[in-house]
Structure 1
Amino acid sequence: MQFKRQVKAEEQVNLTPLIDVVFLLLIFFMVSTTFTKETHLKIDLPEAAGALQVSKVDQIEVVIDAQGGFSVNGRALVNKQLSTLQAAIQEVSGDDTSIPFIITGDANTPYQNAISVMALAGKMGYTNLSLTAQEPEEGEAGALAPD
């Protein structure tokens, strides 16, 4: 007996569901997108004459050098006395103790000087104290490696 082999139909990928999904996504993104119309206004601001007012400082930064000298917001003080430092801080802050107080010390700064500045800031009523440090560079001796 001779049996006829059935001719295999060519396999084709039906693209109709794929096209339907693409159109649904297109409609979804079109509906969910918000379009904004930007307008540009030209505004002529009024002019005013008068004396400039001193702006408030946004922070107080006390820098302690390796010899124990102080500078407040970039202004070096004439001596290393805490009373001079206190007067300079009061002059800069204007008795506003809510602004941040940053203490920056040299790596070789005596520990006692940093503690004295912290104690002075606490005595003056500053509660927002910060100490700054520099991150060690890669491969630097003595640097702590993360576990």
Structure 2
Amino acid sequence: MKLRKPKIEPIELNLTPMIDCLLFLLVFLLVSTTFNQYSRLNLVLPEASGVPPDNRQQKIEVVVKPNGEYLVNGLSLSSNNEAELMAAIRQAAGNARNLPFTIAADGKASHQSVVQVMDIAGKLGFVNLNISTRVPHRGQS
């Protein structure tokens, strides 16, 4: 009788079930873990009592009305031409060209009127030019 030699099969290590089990454990741990906010600090910050702004500071404010009229620091001009507006701004500013220059234009004022004020301010050498806006109240659109 002839005996057969047993065949030895090569050993394979299948990692797929082990990876599936590890992923399942990882998902389970992530779902069941509660995240606490221990790193968040509760701070009570001090309030600053700053110096109130100096209302006496000289500034140039040009108001542009809806009909194209100009007011320079609250004084109305007799006409809307460029020469009179330039003269009124020169008179209000004197020789100081570093004063804050604010343009407060009505929403219905023409774009040309606002650009004309900006152009005159540039010609006179003002560098601190601001356009004033209104901050809407909550609940309004």
Aligning the two structures, in what range does the TM-score lie when normalised by the shorter sequence?
0.5 to 0.7
Give the C-alpha shift of residue 82 in structure 1: 1.1
TM-score of the two chains, using structure 2 as the length reference: 0.58
Q: Structure 2: where are the runs of 5+ without partners? A: 1-55
Larger Rg: 2
Q: State the Cα deviation string for residues 86-145 of structure 1 (Å, max 9, x = none).
A: 0001111112111111000011111111111101101110000000010123333xx3xx
Q: State the percentage of identical aligned residues.
A: 34
Alignment match, 2:104: 104
Which residue of 2 is the match for residue 85 of structure 1?
85
Distance in 1 between residues matched to 2:93 and 2:119, nearest whole Å: 17
Give the secondary structure class of the aligned counterpart of 2:88: helix
2:136 partner SS: coil
**Equivalent position amino acid for 1:78 in 2:** S
Task: Write the distance in 2 (CA, Å) between the matches of 1:71 and 1:86.
Answer: 12
Which position in structure 2 is the counterpart of 1:116? 116
Query: Displaced runs of 4+ in structure 1, greater than 4 A?
Result: none
Q: TM-score, normalised by structure 1?
A: 0.55
Q: Which residue of 2 aligns with 1:49?
A: none
Structure 1 position 74 matched with structure 2 position 98 = no
Secondary structure of 2:78's match?
coil
Equivalent position SS for 1:63: strand
User: Could you tell me whether the CA contact under 8 Å between 1:68 and 1:109 is conserved in 2?
Assistant: yes
Please state how far the C-alpha of 1:58 moved relative to its aligned partner.
Answer: 1.0
Name the residue aligned to 2:58.
58
Once residues 64 and 95 of structure 1 are traced to their aligned partners in structure 2, the CA distance between those partners, rounded to angstroms, is 23
What displacement does 1:57 show? 6.2
Q: Work out the CA distance in 2 between the residues paired with 1:61 and 1:114.
A: 13
How many angstroms apart in 2 are the aligned matches of 1:65 and 1:95?
Answer: 27
What is the alpha-carbon root mean square deviation over aligned residues?
1.5
Structure 1 gaps of 5+ residues are 1-55
